[in-house]
Structure 1
Amino acid sequence: MEKVIMHVDMDAFFAAVEVHDNPKLKGKPVIVGGTSERGVVSTCSYEARKYGVKSAMPVYIAKSKCPNGIFLPPRIGRYKEVSKEIFSILRSVTPYVEPLSIDEAYLDITNYTKNSVSTSKFIKEAVMKKTGLTLSVGISYNKFLAKLASDWDKPNGLTIIRKNMMPQILFPLPISKVYGLGKKSVKKLNDIGVFSIEELYKLPKDILIEFFGKYGIEVYDRIRGIDNRTVQILRQTKSIGRENTLKRDTDDKNELKEYLKAFSISISKQLLNKGFSAKTVILKTKTSSFENHTRSKTLPSYIYKPEDIYQEACEVLMEITLTEKVRLIGLSVSSLKENSLKQISLFDS
């Protein structure tokens, strides 16, 4: 039996919640994120997007593009509350729900509906009635195409990609629409004259493997409608981390260490709460010119104590040559494993 996969994505979620809670904001360019000049945009209303504002954009650029924008700090607690209501509705349709974030999810409805369109309409109506918010739905026979479809006709869209539409329906799209191709990969392909999925489709598999290693095979398959990933009910925690945009750009490593110390304490608490230890420490920096850099270190043994995380993070930092001042610093840990009760009691004592 052919799979029926649905991807549900809330429309401008944070901004939409703010407008719902304060109807006076309706029709206005609402921008949620850090409200200081050093902050970044979390999300924005479609009215703000008309001015060129988008997620992850620095606030000072957003203000220059949209001087009449209404800038609001995020209310994460409120967004989680609404998210819980939405996911309750999704799980009433099928137990096979895989959350991707607070406002989007995959659903496997293969064995739970005979009509995916009526199921989509039910979800839309139920979410609107419960939360007053709209969402977009993509339906297809695999995850890649379902996610692509949900972004096809935003906001409040419903798009289906069927097997007999492939691959021609993808050909006009830019290669940035291919899941897993980031900015660097897109630029690499643009540099050899590949801009559309149709042009990407014409490349031999060997070329993609040469460009991207084993991931080149996935890219080759996906644009041909092949994606064998299944909907995972429980998504495993892969990493835990924190990051901050600095009040001012700096290349003072002692100053950066203070942030790493605070991050280490926070990460350690999260590891303990989840019952995990970590083996890889990852340092992230964003420079004054908005270039992202990461450096990681895999340890011979697992750690979870704040002093151990801090020590390893500082060692990674000291190995880096800062050729430019830093505007954002982040720290995360990965390669997680669950602690045994014996380990925890021994360490805690």
Structure 2
Amino acid sequence: MLMQRTVLHLNIADFATAVERLCDSSLRHRPVIIGLPVARSLVYDMSDEAYREGVRKGMPLWRARRLCPGAVILPPRPERYGKAMLHLLKLARPLTPLVEQAPGDGHLYLDLSGTRRLHGPARDVALRLRRQVRGELGLEPIWTLAPNKLVAKVASRLVKPEGEFLVESGREQQLLAPLSLELLPGLGRRLRERLREYNLVRAGQVAALSPAELAVICPGRERFLFQAVRGIDHTPVQPRTRSRGVVRTSHLFTPDSNREDEVRCGLALLVEEVGYRLRQQGLGCCRMSLVLTYSDGISTRRQASFRTILSDNRSLFLQAELLLHRAWRRRLRIRSLALVCDRLRTPVHQLSLFGLVNQRQQRNHALSTALDTIHKRFGRAKLVRGSLLAK
């Protein structure tokens, strides 16, 4: 018999705004919009008061100002929000090894399955954690308990901005049936519009259809829809671990920059760092991700996979440069870059039908290895790329 799952979703509504109000009590009960006050800036976060006026995340700041002219505009401070998030994780991790930080600050999933004998009933754990967050952080979280992440997330949306909700096992579909499809995570705008063409706007209406009927309406998404509207979700709570299977590093520009030479220089620094760490482990990567964060706090992520295993600096930089070109689409200054290499493998140096290609790869790898030896013996500052020198 399978153990019944119990997933706790802890959510601090409008997290960035809540942290700012914690630092400045005069902001309480006033509409707050967080966004860099420059041209083409987007809304990073907003208070519930601003939300009720129509302000939404990702909206152009000029439009948000028109909708809510009395709002206080604050620049985003991701470092401040990151510290608060780390403290939140510190409080949650003693309760279960399965703690997942969901996309966006202020969201945590905890899998409490099998922890009753150690920590007591899940409801008591949730109440205790909320008291700790109140006492140590001064923030007011909402919490929901459900048999899976999807239903717990929907329940949080029902009680937001404050409250609690407990969904018993077996009542998932009953909860979802009358709800708008907009409340279900994973249903994008295009999918909802497609369903609306068939006058399907609530979960219960979609649940009345068979997989075959759903396949006609939304080919390729029928399985997901069939399960989602019934509250079925087998997605595990996935903690972010320090895995040997991932190498990541980041660079913060001080001050923020939109100069191409400075941004490429920062990218080169990241590549040298991840390349060095990969080669020290005798590994290469088959996938790379680049996260670009603008001055207004909005981030863009681009990813690429490779058939060959990359470990030398030149090959890594060429791929990272392509990702930068795909990600950098706005005219705002860039605050930071983060580079992630995963799908790590041990490089296999094979003979190539194209001798010049194989020679070039071997030469690049030998050069990177020689640089590693020099850096290891004399320090990173003794020998650097010409592009990294200040102009």
What TM-score do the two structures reach when normalised by structure 2? 0.69
* Structure 1 counterpart of 2:183, from 173, 177, 183: 177
Q: Quick one: percent identity of the two aligned structures?
A: 22
Mapped partners of 1:83, 1:273: distance in 2: 30
TM-score using structure 1 length: 0.77
Out of 187, 196, 201, the position equivalent to 2:202 is 196
Aligned counterpart, 1:80: 82
* Shift, 1:256, TM fit: 11
Aligned partner of 1:300 among 307, 328, 335: 307
Aligned-partner residue type, residue 156 of structure 1: E
Q: In structure 2, how many angstroms separate the alpha carbons of the residues matched to 1:270 and 1:309?
A: 11
Look up the SS of the partner of 2:64 in the other structure: helix
Could you tell me how far 1:173 is from its partner in structure 2? 1.6
Instruction: Check 1:332–1:74 CA distance in 2 against 1; reply closer, same or farther (3 A cut).
Output: closer
Instruction: Using the TM superposition, give the Cα deviation of residue 207 of structure 1 relative to its aligned residue in structure 2, in angstroms.
Output: 3.6
Q: Secondary structure at the match of 2:307?
A: strand
Secondary structure of 1:14's partner? helix
Q: CA deviation at 1:94?
A: 2.0
The RMSD of aligned alpha carbons is 4.0
- 2:288·2:342 contact (CA, 8 Å) conserved in 1? no
What is residue 230 of structure 1 aligned with on the other side? 236
* One-letter amino acid of the structure 2 residue matched with residue 5 of structure 1: V
Pick aligned residue for 2:115 from 107, 112, 115: 112
CA distance change for structure 1 residues 260 and 20 in 2, over 3 Å: closer, same or farther?
A: closer
1:11 CA drift (Å): 1.5
| Cα distance between partner residues in 2 of 1:345 and 1:283 | 24
Question: Aligned residue pairs: how many?
Answer: 325
| Cα distance in 2, alignment partners of residues 185 and 334 from structure 1 | 30
Give the Å deviation of 1:12: 0.9
Residue 246 of structure 1 aligns with which residue?
A: none
> Does the residue aligned with 1:3 lie in a helix, a strand or coil?
coil
Residue type at the aligned position of 1:33? G
Distance 1:91 1:99, change over 3 A: same
Q: Give the partner amino acid of 1:127.
A: V
Specify whether residues 148 and 266 from structure 1 end up closer, same or farther in structure 2 by C-alpha distance, changes over 3 A only: farther
Q: Does 1:44 align with 2:40?
A: no
Amino acid at match of 1:202: A
What is the SS of the residue equivalent to 2:76? coil
Q: Per residue, is there more strand in 1 or in 2?
A: 1
Question: Following the alignment from structure 2 to structure 1, what is the Cα–Cα distance between the partners of residues 276 and 141?
Answer: 33
User: What are the within-5 Å matches in structure 2 for residues 158-173 of structure 1?
Assistant: 158-173=164-179
Indicate the residue corresponding to 1:103 in structure 2. Answer: 106
SS state at 1:184 partner: helix
User: Given that residues 288 and 305 in structure 2 are in contact (C-alpha distance below 8 angstroms), is that contact kept between their aligned partners in structure 1?
Assistant: yes
Deviations 1:61-89 (A, max 9, x none): 11111111111111122112111211111
- Asked if 2 retains the 8 angstrom alpha-carbon contact of 1:82 and 1:131, the reply is yes
Query: Residues 307 and 31 (structure 1 numbering): CA distance in 2 closer, same or farther, change over 3 Å?
Result: farther
Which is further off, 79-88 or 20-29? 79-88
Alignment correspondent of 2:214: 208
Gaps of 5+ in 1: 243-254, 286-292, 321-325
d(CA) in 1 for partners of 2:219, 2:331:
30
The alpha-carbon distance between structure 1 residues 316 and 77, as it changes in their structure 2 partners (threshold 3 A), is closer
The alignment partner of 2:308 has SS state of strand
Are 1:156 and 2:156 matched, yes or no? Answer: no
In the alignment, residue 113 of structure 2 is paired with which amino acid?
Answer: T
- SS of residue matched to 1:151: helix
Larger Cα Rg: Structure 1 or Structure 2?
2
CA deviation vs aligned residue, 1:37-77 (integer Å, no higher than 9, x gap): 31111111111112111211111111111111111111122
1:64 aligns with 66
Deviates more, 1:67-76 or 1:215-224: 215-224
Greater shift in the superposed pair: 293-302 or 78-87: 293-302
| Secondary structure of 2:190 counterpart | helix
| 2:5 alignment counterpart | 3
Deviation per CA, 1:252-305: give whole Å up to 9, x if none. Answer: xxx9987984674476367458758654578999xxxxxxx9997643324467
Contact 1:283-1:332 at 8 Å conserved across structures: yes
CA distance in 1, matches of 2:331, 2:178: 36
1:141-191 per-residue CA deviation (whole Å, 9 max, x = no partner) reads 111111111221112221112234331321222212222211222222222
Could you tell me whether the CA contact under 8 Å between 1:98 and 1:233 is conserved in 2? Answer: yes
Return the letter of the residue paired with 1:155.
P
Instruction: Measure, in 2, the Cα distance between the counterparts of 1:273 and 1:138.
Output: 44
Distance 1:70 1:142, change over 3 A: same
Judge which range, 84-93 or 120-129, deviates more.
84-93
- Match among 176, 187, 194 for residue 193 of structure 2: 187
Please give the alpha-carbon distance, in whole angstroms, between the structure 1 residues aligned to 2:264 and 2:188. Answer: 30
